[in-house]
Amino acid sequence: MGEFTTTIERRLDQAYRGLKEAKCSGDDYLADTLNAEIEDLRRLADDHGVPLPR
């Protein structure tokens, strides 16, 4: 596993954890921002052939 793949996976993990916390605290703006980041990271991974679980 390359550094690029590791970085994408790490950032996705952080974003998903942050999203869960934002939803629990009712922070809709942060949740929307993190959803957008997740979409961007998943698109970037797909563009570069990085396999990710759905």
Asked if residue 38 belongs to a domain, the reply is yes
Domain of residue 29 covers: 15-47
Structurally, the chain folds into a number of domains equal to: 1
Beta strands in the chain, from DSSP E residues, in sequence order: none
User: Distance between CA atoms of 25 and 33, rounded to whole angstroms?
Assistant: 15
Asked if residue 5 belongs to a domain, the reply is no
Asked if residue 37 belongs to a domain, the reply is yes
Give pLDDT, residue 27: 98
Cα 44 off chain centre by? 10
Give pLDDT, residue 54: 77
Asked if residue 34 belongs to a domain, the reply is yes
pLDDT digits (tens, 9 = 90+) for 1-54: 699 999 999 999 999 999 999 999 999 999 999 999 999 999 999 999 999 987
Q: Give the pTM.
A: 0.90
